[in-house]
Amino acid sequence: MSGFRIRPATGADARVLTDMLVEAANWDAARSRARLTVLEDPAVLRYIAGWRRPGDLGCVAEDANGVAVGACWARLFPANAPGAGFVAVGVPELTLGVYPVWRARGAGRALLQELLGMAAEAGATRVSLSVERGNFAHRLYVSEGFTTARQRETADTMVRTLR
């Protein structure tokens, strides 16, 4: 890790998390949508709406001046309104993003590892996510112990067991 530190995400971090949600939704530059269009999509908005509600947990990486570098967070969804990476009630689904200028410097992996630790500490036994197979983040998740629980059309639902 270099040039950034990681701290727990608070209710005041909604803007940073929203930025990262847009980055995650727009991971493929060829299919990028305007920020407002992304956030009008209920399938995207549900990952951040009402942050920070009971059960939400997350972390933010920031530079030496306290400026956000990226964030990783996880949220619980009910079975009747599941997220794209839903596997079961009680299994939080995570979202990860790093601002473009900070990418490929270790922040994404460090945030992911921190979130996994936070989830385990909060009592979760598994964490899930949804990732498109074309996104190199897929390989990052595999390298951090995630396995594919379900293959969908172009995306995988992945799960990481916590010890």
Ligand X SMILES: CC(C)(COP(=O)(O)OP(=O)(O)OC[C@H]1O[C@@H](n2cnc3c(N)ncnc32)[C@H](O)[C@@H]1OP(=O)(O)O)[C@@H](O)C(=O)NCCC(=O)NCCS
Chain residues in the site for ligand X (CB under 6 A) = 23-24, 27, 96-98, 103-109, 129, 131, 135-137, 140
Of residues 80 and 127, the one with the C-beta less far from ligand X? 127
Q: In this structure, what token pair is assigned to residue 126?
A: 């598994």
Of residues 55 and 134, the one with the C-beta less far from ligand X? 134
- Of all residues in the shown chain, the one whose CB is closest to ligand X is 108
Write down the least CB distance from residue 7 to ligand X, Å. Answer: 16
Of residues 21 and 124, the one with the C-beta less far from ligand X? 21
Of residues 47 and 80, the one with the C-beta less far from ligand X? 47
How far apart CA 105 and CA 109 sit, in angstroms, is 9
Q: Which residues have CB under 8 Å from 161's CB, separation 6+?
A: 125, 126, 145
Write down the least CB distance from residue 91 to ligand X, Å. Answer: 16
| Amino acid at position 16, single letter | V
Write down the least CB distance from residue 28 to ligand X, Å. Answer: 8
Write down the least CB distance from residue 70 to ligand X, Å. Answer: 6
Whether 123 and 92 have beta carbons less than 8 Å apart is answered as no
Residue 102 vs residues 56, 69, 79, 98, 151: alpha-carbon distances, Å: 25, 6, 35, 6, 30
Q: In this structure, what token pair is assigned to residue 52?
A: 């920070």
